[in-house]
Every structure is written in C-alpha cells, then in structure tokens.
Amino acid sequence: MNKEKKILLVDDEPDILEFLGYNLKKEGYTVSTANNGKEALVIAKEERPDLVILDVMMPDMDGIETCRQIRDMPELKNVLIAFLTARGEDYSQIAGFEAGADDYINKPIKPRVLISRVKALLRRGKIADVALLPDYAELGGLKIDRERYLIVQNGKEITLPKKEFELLNLLTSKPGKVFTREEILGKVWGGEVVVGDRTIDVHIRKLREKIGDDYFRTVKGIGYTFEF
C-alpha cells in the first residue's frame, strides 16, 4: 500500500511543495514537507521517510550538503534520496551521487511522470533490499556484515551508504565474475536509472577510496569484478 510509504519533500519554493505534495498524496503516499535543508534533517530524523525528494538549489544549506548529512546518520542509512533540480549539467549530477543520492528528477515534471519515477525509486529500494546471501561473509581481509551495512577492515568499521553497500554486496556475491554495467544497473538500481552509467563509476570510485583499489578491477567497455 502506498500509504505505508513516507516521502519527505524539501524545497524552498512553496508552489513546488504544494504541487508535488498534492499529486503524491492523491496516490496515497504519506507526505511531509520542509522548506530548507536544516528543517529537512530534523524531520527526516524524526519520521524516517522511505524517500526524500530534495531540491539542489536552496539558501543556507543546499541539497548536496543536506544529502551528505542525511547519509552521515546511521538511522537513515536505508532512505532513498532523489534530487529535484532544473539543472541538468553532468557536474551537478556527479556531485549529487558523490554525496549519496540515488537518482535525479528534473523539473518541471508532469504529475504522471513524477508518480512513475517515485514508484520506480521505491521499487528499486525494495529490489535492492532482497538478499539471498548470508548475513555475514569474510573475503580477502574484508568482513562484510550485510545486516548492518557494515564493513570491517583491519579492525576498523566502515559504514557505507546504501547503494555503495549494495554494489559491493553484488560484486562480492561472486568474486572473479565480471558484472556488466547492465547487470549492475538492473540488480542494484532496479533497471530504472535514467542518468546513465556514470553513477556506477562514481560509486566504484568511492568504494576504492574507502576500501582499497586492489579489490576492484575495471573490465574496459564491459563492467567490474571483485578480486582478492
């Protein structure tokens, strides 16, 4: 049921909040709103939404910083985040993914398209949550705790954002196997990604920075594999 799904809308333009909120409520979603990033952080912590739709360009605290701070909160590790923006430049999208965003929604957007994208995002989260792997694994000096989205390396705990963890989870499910970009998009992002392959590259780069270069091999023109 849609009413079981909670969505937090964050934008400094009241008209945008009203438009989005009206159409999402009409579909049965539970909707909360915030006018700025600081307010969004408070509401997100209290209400634990399933999805945050976040404007990029806001005064005081922009969407990128708001996203980054949400990702730093362990209790919000599973929330999906989509940026709502009129800016389509690649650098803006890359900055968003580096901050931990799951997707982009470009405005202006038609109600039917909005609902379709929201359903796809929430379905994507559901697909990614279904794991047929054991809760705990140890590979090449990495201890992977799938229940807590946690990696332990050399005694140090590393908490990963949801999509980074799911990408690592997929690659480590079959070490040595080359996962194509299409497979990765389908199994981690649900095959609904509009923004293209660049998001995979950003997430792989962040995993390399946090865990180490040697675990991930790029197979040019095909995809990635995990080795140890």
Facing residues of 161 across strands? Answer: none
Q: Residue 189 CA to chain centroid, in angstroms?
A: 9
Dump pLDDT digits (tens) for 130-157.
Answer: 444 567 788 888 998 887 788 999 889 9
Tell me what pLDDT residue 5 has.
92
Q: Where are the beta strands (DSSP E) in the chain?
A: 6-10, 30-34, 51-55, 80-85, 103-106, 136-139, 142-145, 150-153, 156-159, 179-180, 216-219, 223-226
How far is it between the farthest Cα atoms of the chain? Answer: 52
The series of mean pLDDT values per 10 residues for the chain, 228 residues long, is 84 94 95 96 95 90 92 86 73 72 82 88 61 70 84 89 88 86 82 64 93 90 87
Facing residues of 51 across strands? Answer: 7, 80
Tell me what pLDDT residue 122 has.
84
Tell me what pLDDT residue 135 has.
72
